Amino acid sequence: MAQKKLRVAIVFGGKSGEHEVSITSAVSVFNALDKSKYEVVLVGIDKGGRWLLPSETKVLAHAENPRLLKLNKEKELVSLVPYESNKSLIRTEPSASGDDATSGKFDVIIPILHGTYGEDGTIQGLLEMSGIPYVGSGVLGSAVGMDKDVSRRLLKAAGIPVVPTLVFKKFEFAKNKQAAIQKAIKEFGFPFFVKPANMGSSVGVSKVKSEADALEKFELAFAYDNKILAEKGVEARELECSVLGNDEPKASIVGEIIPQHEFYSYEAKYMDENGALLEIPAKNVTADIVKRIQDLSIHAFKVLECAGMARVDFFLDRKNGELYLNEINTIPGFTKISMYPKLWEATGLPYSKLLDELVRFAIERHAEKTSLKTSYDTDEEC
């Protein structure tokens, strides 16, 4: 008797500056999932936060350039209805096409929602309340990993080296913009970087090279977040490591991003095919540095309460050899050329098998969590 397929939903798109990146990742995940094991349902979320039917999203699997697709259909509606009892996530309103593929149960959700409203604990909270296993970190790990300010404070407290940083809030910045800019200049000199605290894919990140361009670049970062970071400019190599697992996570080999632009910007990552080179494994890195990166990646994964997967990014200072943990990504890019799956492939775990493992870890973690008590029985002995 054939084993029943697991019903898997890929949720992607979303209200984020990384919307288009999410679409690209979702296409790759859809194509790589073994259809003999999984019944795969695509669930897109448009930029306004509206959930779409599979009839509106399944075209993604055949798109020549998914980054150009816009998830903004209006002909059909989806209402979000979490059901703890039967693990349903969404149900459809009556559709002329009769497409109700989103009705019913899901065995696992794969959230491929990069950035805000996806990587920050929001969708994870919804899935927790829905009682559905899902891939990746929980509410706490996702929220902490997303906030570069909070994560760096926790990492630093755990003895993990991080890039020197100043934090600015929008309401404080508005009171005296020049004072904030001068504080960053005095602390770091030129160049330094400014970036939103809660954003990925280098969206809103700028290199500040003079006082003349500082205000414009601070305001660009504040366009994406109410809290931004000013960060010491480090002339560094960018090294990355992938982590996989729950209680006993493992680290991949180490790779290097070699930007062909001034830094690893959004344009270099996604708009210029020659914007960066991936070197896997990283060359001319000592065995001691590789081991330290792997150990720090696992340590950071545990400190920030992550689960399932994460890509951990490091800076290796070219001048003095200092190693800094730059950030952790709890829903890393998942295209076939993305560093997270490519590092695991080079470590010996192919893309489709990596997805199998992520699904397995999601189910395992959910089973452990549901075994816990959620009510207090007054008749029990103390």
Q: What average pLDDT does the segment 242-249 reach?
A: 98
CA–CA gap between residue 286 and residue 309 (Å, rounded): 25
Q: Say if residue 238's pLDDT is above 90.
A: yes
Q: In CATH, what is the architecture of 6-134? A: 3-Layer(aba) Sandwich (3.40)
* pLDDT reported for residue 58: 54
Tell me the pLDDT band of 4, cut-offs 50, 70 and 90: confident
Tell me the residue length of the chain.
Answer: 382
Of residues 252 and 2, the one with the higher pLDDT is 252
* pLDDT reported for residue 153: 97
Measured CA angle at 233 (ends 229, 238), to 5 deg = 100
Q: Say if residue 80's pLDDT is above 50.
A: no
Q: Say if residue 75's pLDDT is above 60.
A: no
CA–CA gap between residue 23 and residue 65 (Å, rounded): 10
Among 84-88, 115-119, 241-245, the least confident range: 84-88
Cα Rg, the chain, nearest whole Å: 21
Of residues 375 and 89, the one with the higher pLDDT is 375
pLDDT in tens, 207-231: 999 999 999 999 999 998 999 999 9
User: Mean pLDDT, the chain, as a whole number?
Assistant: 84
Q: Which residues contact 330 (CB under 8 A, 6 or more apart)?
A: 119, 136, 137, 141, 142, 145, 146, 306, 309, 310
Among 86-90, 231-235, 330-334, the least confident range: 86-90
Measured CA angle at 297 (ends 291, 300), to 5 deg = 135
CA–CA gap between residue 115 and residue 120 (Å, rounded): 7
Q: Say if residue 330's pLDDT is above 50.
A: yes
CB 165 within 8 A of CB 229: yes
Q: What average pLDDT does the segment 165-170 reach?
A: 98
* pLDDT reported for residue 92: 42
Q: What average pLDDT does the segment 139-143 reach?
A: 97
Highest mean pLDDT (candidates 187-201, 261-275, 307-321):
307-321
Of residues 47 and 283, the one with the higher pLDDT is 283
* pLDDT reported for residue 145: 96
Q: Say if residue 96's pLDDT is above 70.
A: no
* pLDDT reported for residue 191: 94
**SS3 of residue 254 by DSSP:** strand
Q: Say if residue 253's pLDDT is above 70.
A: yes
pLDDT in tens, 173-183: 999 999 999 99
Q: Say if residue 172's pLDDT is above 90.
A: yes
133 burial via Cβ count (<10 Å: 0-12, 13-18, 19+): buried
Helical (H) or strand (E) element with 251: strand 250-259
Q: What average pLDDT does the segment 25-36 reach?
A: 92
CA–CA gap between residue 265 and residue 263 (Å, rounded): 6
Q: Say if residue 148's pLDDT is above 90.
A: yes
Q: What average pLDDT does the segment 67-81 reach?
A: 43
Q: What average pLDDT does the segment 331-340 reach?
A: 89
Is the domain defined by 165-232 classed in CATH 1.20.120.520?
no
Q: Say if residue 353's pLDDT is above 60.
A: yes
Domain segments of the chain as ranges? 6-134, 146-161+235-368, 165-232
Q: In CATH, what is the architecture of 146-161+235-368? A: 2-Layer Sandwich (3.30)
Q: What average pLDDT does the segment 102-112 reach?
A: 80
Identity of the amino acid at 327: E
Q: Say if residue 87's pLDDT is above 80.
A: no
For the chain, percent of residues with pLDDT exceeding 90? 62
Of residues 86 and 197, the one with the higher pLDDT is 197
CA–CA gap between residue 95 and residue 73 (Å, rounded): 14
Q: Say if residue 72's pLDDT is above 70.
A: no
* pLDDT reported for residue 64: 53
Find, among 289, 304, 210, the residue nearest to 256 by Cα. 289
Q: What average pLDDT does the segment 155-164 reach?
A: 97
* pLDDT reported for residue 57: 56
Q: Which residues contact 10 (CB under 8 A, 6 or more apart)?
A: 26, 29, 30, 40, 41, 42, 43, 110, 112
Q: What average pLDDT does the segment 16-32 reach?
A: 86
* pLDDT reported for residue 53: 62
Q: What average pLDDT does the segment 55-72 reach?
A: 51
